């Protein structure tokens, strides 16, 4: 770390936030691709996308730790407890440094906006996965009930033939 002056720490914070924002930006098309893959019921691609996402999440986590460390160092320099140093509090502290204040405000707003977009996409994907699980459960119950002949625990030949087309259809008929 290049010295522990407040100016260098603020610059390091801005650099870290920019890197975080870049990673979150990269996750948006991944989440959008995930939506299409979920709708298409393409499990192999879903696994690949999830692995890709995990790599990015690990990079984000490393930057989060670095950001927390920078905030602890800022707290040490200005004699404030790190837990009281929210981004808004740090932005307010920079009243006498309008350039850095503006830069930090812009990256904070941009990061907030990007994260909100990602949260919405992830909510949509979660909902689609939930619908998929409900459809699987419904199909499993349907298959179990149609395989059993009334009053018997034997499978009927007709019931197993009935099951085949249902098992081959995708989870989602309507593209969302």
* Separation of alpha carbons 36 and 34, rounded Å: 5
Cα(154)–Cα(110) distance, integer angstroms: 62
- Please state whether 57 falls in left (phi above 0), alpha (psi between -120 and 50) or beta: alpha
Domain boundaries, the chain: 6-125
Indicate the pLDDT class of residue 168, thresholds 50, 70 and 90. very low
Read off the tokens for 53. Answer: 């996402």
Q: What gap in Å lies between CA 113 and CA 109, rounded to an integer?
A: 6
* Selection from 53, 60, 91 nearest residue 74 by Cα: 91
**The pLDDT of residue 142:** 87
User: 148 forms bridges with which residues in the sheet?
Assistant: 155
Map tokens 């929210």 to a residue: 86
User: pLDDT digit string (tens) for 48-103?
Assistant: 999 999 999 999 999 999 999 999 999 999 999 999 999 999 999 999 999 999 99
Q: What is the DSSP string of 1-23?
A: -----HHHHHHHHHHHHHHHHHH
- Residue 173's pLDDT is 46
pLDDT tens per residue across span 109-132: 999 999 999 999 999 999 999 998
DSSP secondary-structure letter at 153?
A: S
Tokens of 65: 């730790």
User: Residue 142: which H helix or E strand, with range?
Assistant: helix 98-147
Around Cβ 20, how many Cβ atoms within 10 Å? Answer: 21
User: Average pLDDT, stretch 106-110?
Assistant: 97
Average pLDDT, the chain: 86
Structure tokens at 165: 């087309």
Coil/strand/helix, residue 151? coil
Q: Please state the rounded mean pLDDT for residues 160-172.
A: 48
Full-prediction pTM beyond 0.85?
no
Q: Which two tokens stand for residue 173?
A: 């008929």
163 in Cβ contact with 143 (< 8 Å)? yes
């Amino acid at each position: 770390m290049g010295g522990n002056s407040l100016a260098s720490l603020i610059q390091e914070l801005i650099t870290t936030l920019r890197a975080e924002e870049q990673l979150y930006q990269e996750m948006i098309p991944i989440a959008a691709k995930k939506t299409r893959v979920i709708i298409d019921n393409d499990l192999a691609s879903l696994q690949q996308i999830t692995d890709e996402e995990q790599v990015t999440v690990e990079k984000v986590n490393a930057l989060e730790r670095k950001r927390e460390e920078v905030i602890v160092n800022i707290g040490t320099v200005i004699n404030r407890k790190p837990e009281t140093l929210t981004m808004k509090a740090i932005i307010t502290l920079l009243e006498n440094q309008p350039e850095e204040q503006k830069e930090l405000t812009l990256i904070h707003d941009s990061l907030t906006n990007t994260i909100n977009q990602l949260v919405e996409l992830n909510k949509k994907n979660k909902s689609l996965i939930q619908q998929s699980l409900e459809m699987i459960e419904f199909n499993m119950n349907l298959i179990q009930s149609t395989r059993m002949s009334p009053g018997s625990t034997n499978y009927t030949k007709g019931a197993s033939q009935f099951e085949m087309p249902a098992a081959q259809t995708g989870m989602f008929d309507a593209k969302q």
